[in-house]
């Protein structure tokens, strides 16, 4: 059934279709309409999940951890400050190998208070052990939440599905809402490999201070699980395509053939970049686009393979790791370190804190990058230059 809905409602429909048994919710703009919609589904009886209206995002994640330990599918949603408040428990959820799925609506971190889109919130959580998916459309938000459960429950790691504030959270688009029965065949009920109950007397997360090697090994296994994600994602994506006719991949290639310049981007800005790439191609300029859908684990192999031999790469970061630079840009450079025929990587800070990324801005960046042999600066602040 096709409906015109917002990105946030798409997230709520995705969560509903996944049939979680537990949802913890706490409001924060611009995420709030996700949990409002889920509350509607719950009160109308369309969704049977237990709901806890917690008193903070920190408690939202703690409640999900408690519930997930008993072996039920869980969901929550957050944004920006809320995600930052959860930071401690993001490590806990991943370390405990709980396949919690969470929507994160990218929003700038204060100060000052700013509701605009900015990827720093979740990119700054890159070391916590969560799988992270970046969405471009409302349809992809819904579909990715379903895929997220498939992937998370197979590798036993939590997964964050991210979309941009307002450009997607509050923008209405036509979205195909799949039939529940079809989704059930894609995503059967969750069967946990172990669970907390009063029958099997087990201790969960006993202190390892006296036996640190145990925890060292747990970290190794978590990394091994992360390394399985690309293959698991591909499989989940293909199965999704068979049932629903849509697939997204780990990364998406757009006009990469013979490209002299490849723009690397993630999130809603990708749609704008597509248009600009088309225009440049029509003028005979060999410009392409590589969209990062899976940000964690970082798709190093795909990047090495697709960017090998490309003369120039322009990375668009709607985020900043202060003291280092754009997070995507740093990750791309790191991925390319061991390859021959390394591209020249230009790192652009664009659209930070909800600044619009227009076709003009993208066009200017492409012109600049085509003209330059090497970047004048390690971090290029487009708005400051303009």
Partner 1 sequence: MTSLLAEKEKFVVPEEEYIYQGHTLCAGCSAALIIRYVLKVLGPKTICVVPACCFTLMSGRSTYGRDSQLTMPSGLRISILNCAFETAAVTASGVKAGLEAQGDYETTVLAVAGDGGTFDIGLQALSGAAERNDDIMYLCYDNEAYMNTGIQRSSATPDGCWTTTTPLPRPKQGAKKNIMEIMAAHKVPYAATATPAFPFDLMQKVSKAKQKRGTRFFHVLCPCPTGWRFSPEFSIKISRMAVESKVFPLYEIEDGEKYTITYSPRGVPVRQYLELQGRFRHLMTEQHIARIQENVDHHWERLVRQVQA
Q: Which is nearer to partner 1, 71 or 249 (CB)?
A: 71
Instruction: Please count the other Cβ atoms lying within 10 Å of the Cβ belonging to residue 356.
Output: 14
Contact by Cβ (8 Å): 157, 185: no
Q: Which is nearer to partner 1, 49 or 102 (CB)?
A: 49
CB of 93 to partner 1, least distance (A): 10
Could you give the CA distance from residue 376 to residue 386 in angstroms, rounded to a whole number?
A: 15
Helix 359-371 and helix 269-282, axial crossing angle in degrees, nearest 10: 60
364 phi, psi to nearest 5 deg: -60, -40
67 phi, psi to nearest 5 deg: -70, -45
**129 token code pair:** 């052990």
Contact by Cβ (8 Å): 350, 269: yes
Please identify which residue in 210, 283, 338, 386 interacts with partner 1, judged by CB under 8 A: 210
Could you give the CA distance from residue 30 to residue 13 in angstroms, rounded to a whole number?
A: 17
Q: Footprint of partner 1 on residues 88-127 (CB under 8 A)?
A: 88-89, 92
CA 263, chain centre distance (Å) = 19
Q: Which is nearer to partner 1, 64 or 273 (CB)?
A: 64
**170 token code pair:** 């509050």
Question: Does the protein bind partner 1 through residue 27 (CB under 8 A)?
Answer: no
Pick the piece of the chain touching partner 1 (CB under 8 A) from 2-10, 116-124, 205-213, 301-309. Answer: 205-213
Question: Does the protein bind partner 1 through residue 58 (CB under 8 A)?
Answer: yes
Pick the piece of the chain touching partner 1 (CB under 8 A) from 30-38, 46-54, 116-124, 376-384. Answer: 46-54
Q: Which is nearer to partner 1, 48 or 360 (CB)?
A: 48
Pick the piece of the chain touching partner 1 (CB under 8 A) from 8-16, 20-28, 266-274, 306-314. Answer: 20-28
Between the alpha carbon of residue 381 and those of residues 129, 276, 386, the distances in Å are: 30, 20, 9
Question: Does the protein bind partner 1 through residue 59 (CB under 8 A)?
Answer: yes
Pick the piece of the chain touching partner 1 (CB under 8 A) from 21-29, 157-165, 217-225, 245-253. Answer: 21-29
Pick the piece of the chain touching partner 1 (CB under 8 A) from 104-112, 199-207, 222-230, 320-328. Answer: 199-207
Contact by Cβ (8 Å): 8, 31: yes
Please identify which residue in 2, 112, 181, 198 interacts with partner 1, judged by CB under 8 A: 198
CB of 220 to partner 1, least distance (A): 18
Nearest to 20 by CA among 121, 152, 200: 152
Please identify which residue in 197, 227, 238, 367 interacts with partner 1, judged by CB under 8 A: 197
Q: Is 272 strand, coil or helix?
A: helix
- The footprint of partner 1 (CB under 8 A) covers 21-22, 24, 49-50, 52-56, 58-59, 62-72, 74, 88-89, 92, 196-198, 200-207, 210
């Amino acid at each position: 059934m096709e409906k015109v809905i917002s990105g946030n409602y798409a997230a709520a429909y995705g969560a509903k279709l996944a049939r979680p048994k537990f949802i913890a919710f706490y409001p924060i703009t611009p995420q709030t309409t996700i949990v409002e919609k889920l509350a509607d589904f719950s009160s109308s009886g369309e969704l049977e999940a237990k709901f806890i209206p917690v008193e903070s995002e920190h408690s939202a994640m703690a409640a999900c951890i408690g519930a997930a330990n008993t072996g039920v599918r869980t969901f929550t949603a957050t944004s920006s400050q809320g995600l930052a408040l959860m930071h401690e428990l993001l490590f806990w959820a991943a370390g405990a190998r709980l396949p919690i799925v969470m929507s994160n609506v990218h929003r700038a971190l204060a100060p000052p208070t700013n509701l605009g889109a900015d990827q720093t919130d979740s990119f700054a959580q890159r070391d916590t052990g969560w799988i992270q998916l970046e969405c471009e459309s409302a349809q992809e938000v819904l579909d990715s939440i379903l895929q997220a459960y498939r992937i998370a429950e197979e590798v036993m790691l939590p997964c964050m599905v991210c979309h941009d504030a307002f450009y997607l959270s509050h923008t209405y688009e036509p979205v195909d809402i799949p039939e529940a029965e079809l989704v059930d065949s894609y995503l059967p009920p969750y069967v946990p490999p172990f669970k907390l109950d009063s029958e099997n007397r087990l201790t969960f997360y006993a202190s390892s201070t006296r036996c640190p090697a145990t925890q060292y090994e747990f970290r190794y296994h978590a990394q091994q699980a992360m390394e399985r994600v690309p293959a698991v994602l591909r499989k989940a994506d293909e199965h999704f395509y068979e049932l629903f006719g849509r697939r997204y991949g780990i990364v998406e290639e757009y006009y990469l053939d013979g490209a002299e310049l490849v723009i690397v981007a993630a999130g809603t800005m990708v749609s704008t970049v597509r248009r600009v790439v088309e225009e440049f191609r029509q003028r005979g300029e060999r410009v392409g686009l590589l969209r990062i859908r899976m940000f964690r684990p970082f798709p190093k192999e795909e990047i090495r393979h697709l960017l090998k031999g490309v003369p120039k790469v322009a990375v668009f970061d709607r985020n900043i790791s202060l003291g280092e630079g754009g997070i995507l840009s740093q990750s791309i450079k790191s991925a390319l370190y061991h390859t021959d025929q390394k591209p020249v990587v230009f790192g652009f800070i664009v659209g930070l804190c909800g600044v619009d990324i227009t076709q003009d801005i993208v066009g200017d960046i492409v012109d600049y990058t085509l003209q330059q042999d090497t970047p004048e600066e390690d971090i290029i602040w487009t708005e400051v230059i303009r």
